[in-house]
Chain A
Amino acid sequence: MNEVQKMAEKQEAGMNTGLQEEVHFSDDLYREHILDHFKNPRNFGELANCTLRHKEQNPLCGDEMEIMLKIDGQQAQEKKLVDIRFQGQGCAISMAAASLLSEHIKGKSIEDVKNVQPEEMLGLLGVQVGVVRRKCALLALKTVHKALEE
Chain B
Amino acid sequence: MKFIPLKNDGTLDLKAAQELCTRKTKILSVMHVSNVLGTINPVKELMALAHDRGALGIIDGAQSVPHLPVDVKELNCDFLFFSGHKLLGPSGIGVLYGKTKHLETMEPFLFGGDMIKEVSLTGASWNDVPWKFEAGTPNITGVIGLGAAIDYLSALGRDAVAQHGKELVGYARQELAKIPGIKLYGPEEGTAVVSFSIKSIPPHDVAALLDREGLAVRAGNHCAMPLLSKLGVPGTVRASFSVYNTPEDVDVLVAGIKKVQEVFRQ
Contacts and interface: CB of A to CB of B under 8 A. Distances in A.
Interface of A: 25-27, 29-30, 32, 35, 59-64, 89-93, 95, 132-133, 136
A93 B266 CA distance: 16
B264 A61 contact: no
B52 to A, nearest CB: 38
A133 B208 contact: yes
B232 to A, nearest CB: 12
A91 B202 contact: yes
Given A61-B204, A62-B221, A92-B202, A32 B263 contact: no
Contacts of B204: 61, 90-91, 93, 133, 136
B213 interface: yes
Contact of B212 (A25, A35, A132, A136): A25
A118 to B, nearest CB: 19
Contacts, number: 56
A25 B257 CA distance: 12
A30 B263 CA distance: 7
Nearest to A30: B263
25 contacts: A25-B209, A25-B212, A25-B213, A25-B259, A27-B209, A27-B212, A30-B263, A35-B263, A59-B221, A60-B221, A61-B204, A61-B219, A89-B202, A90-B204, A90-B234, A91-B202, A91-B203, A91-B204, A92-B202, A92-B205, A92-B264, A95-B202, A133-B204, A133-B208, A136-B204
A35 B213 CA distance: 19
A26 B204 CA distance: 16
Contacts of A60: 220-221
B228 interface: yes
B90 interface: no
B235 interface: yes
Interface size, B (range): 20 to 34
A63 B220 CA distance: 9
B65 to A, nearest CB: 26
B208 A29 contact: yes
Interface in B215-242: 219-221, 225, 228, 234-235
Contact of B235 (A32, A62, A93): A62
Contacts of B228: 62
Contacts of A95: 202
Given A89-B234, A92-B201, A92-B264, 9 more contacts: A26-B212, A27-B263, A30-B263, A60-B220, A60-B221, A61-B204, A90-B234, A91-B204, A91-B208
Contacts of B209: 25, 27, 30
A133 B211 CA distance: 13
A27 B264 CA distance: 10
Most chain B CB atoms below 10 A, which of A89, A90, A91, A95: A91
- From B203, B208, B221, residue with most partner A Cβ within 10 Å: B208
A35 B263 CA distance: 9
A135 to B, nearest CB: 11
A64 B234 CA distance: 9
B222 to A, nearest CB: 10
Closest 8 CB pairs of A and B: A91-B204, A91-B202, A62-B235, A62-B234, A92-B205, A91-B205, A89-B234, A30-B263
Nearest to B229: A62
